Structure formats: structure tokens, C-alpha cells
Amino acid sequence: MVYSEKYTSWTRDDILTEVKSKMKIQRFEHILRVEKSALELAQRYKGNLEACSLAAILHDYAKELPKETMDSIVQEEQWNPEILQYGSQIWHGPAGAYFAEKKFGITDETILTAIRDHTIGSEKMSLTGKILFVADYIEPGRKFPGVQNARALAMESLDQAVMFKITQTIIHLVEKGILVYPETLTVYNAWVRNKEEIY
């Protein structure tokens, strides 16, 4: 994959080297599998291959960064500090978008938003956003119960796969007694309201 100038001046290899240096090998391999799944979905649903590749290889860049890094980004960008309470599981999305822009020079809002929202989804997702959101969930390394369902749905309807992930994620959090980031429920409600359009 060669990226056009309008997206980034970095090569894919240089991005991968940098990404790899910031995380455990297992997570890096996850990222490569997400990219592969994202490109397959992009082919199927006529998405933008370059945008999907970039969003995929950068989506978890911030996942293993120390909390102090996130603290300073929240200060610098004047984000609502509430996000810090929900852990890196939630904040690595916005932090990833921050680095995609500041470090890798990406200005394309569709890519940045796809990365920012990949953890909780959003009310209105772009095609690239939906592809990343679903690819992250169904990549071949995923083993959770229901993943076969999710993969089958993704082949039929991207929207149904997005809805499935949103729903299953909330069920999982509630079952495990984990805090639900309020925005997650807002996203869920929005997708439930849109249901008639999806099914």
C-alpha cells in the first residue's frame, strides 16, 4: 500500500516501525490483522483502501502509552478530564487520533474520526469508520463467543455488524460489572432509533 501525499508523507513501512516500537508484539499483530480485515471489507463495500489501511494501522497506537501521556494530552487539548476515569480502553481512541494528526501528519477528518471513535462507535459513522469498527471486532485473531455471528453479519450488512458490536459490547460490560462510558449508551440509542433503516 502506497499512501498519497494528501493523507501522509509517511510510508506504510515507517508507520509500522514506529507503531511496533510502542506496543507488545501481540498488539502489533492484531493491528496487521485489523488492516487485512479492513481492506477486505473496503473491497466488499467499496470503501477507500488507503483511508482504511491508515485508520487500521494507527487505530491502537495509543493503547499502551502511559496514563501520564494521556493526562498531558487532556490538558493540552482541554478535553473533558472525565474520560480519564474510564481507562485506556476508552481514551486510546481520541489519543490515537491525536497522534495520527500530530505525529503522522494526517489531516483527513474521516480517518481521524474513524480512529477517534473506534472504541465506542458514534451516531453517524463514515464508511471508513464503520469498516474500522467492524474489522477491529472480527479480525481473525478474535475468539470471543459470537464472533462467528459477527463475521457472518459483516459479510451481509456492515450496518448490522456495527449494531451487533455496539449491542454485544454493552451486554459484555454490564455482565462483567465494568463501567459503561455514558457516550456508549448514547451511541447505542442512536443506532436503535436508526434500526428501521438498517434492517
Q: Which of residues 47-66 bind Fe ion (CB under 5 A)?
A: 60
Near Fe ion by CB under 5 A, which window of 40-48, 74-82, 135-143, 168-176? 135-143
Part in contact with Fe ion (CB under 5 A); list of ranges 16-24, 48-56, 106-114, 136-144: 136-144
Smallest gap from Cβ 196 to Fe ion, in A, equals 30
- Which of 136, 150, 161, 184: binder of Fe ion (CB under 5 A)? 136
Return d(Cα 73, Cα 128) in angstroms, integer: 25
Nearest CA to 158 among 46, 30, 34?
46
- H or E stretch including 47? none
Nearer to Fe ion, 144 or 192 (CB): 144
Q: What is the number of helices (H) and of strands (E) in the chain?
A: 11, 0
Please check whether residue 48 is in contact with residue 127, taking contact to mean a CB–CB distance below 8 angstroms: yes
- Does residue 60 sit in helix, strand or coil? coil
Site residues for Fe ion, window 156-185 (CB under 5 A)?
Answer: none
List residues near Fe ion by CB under 5 A: 60, 136
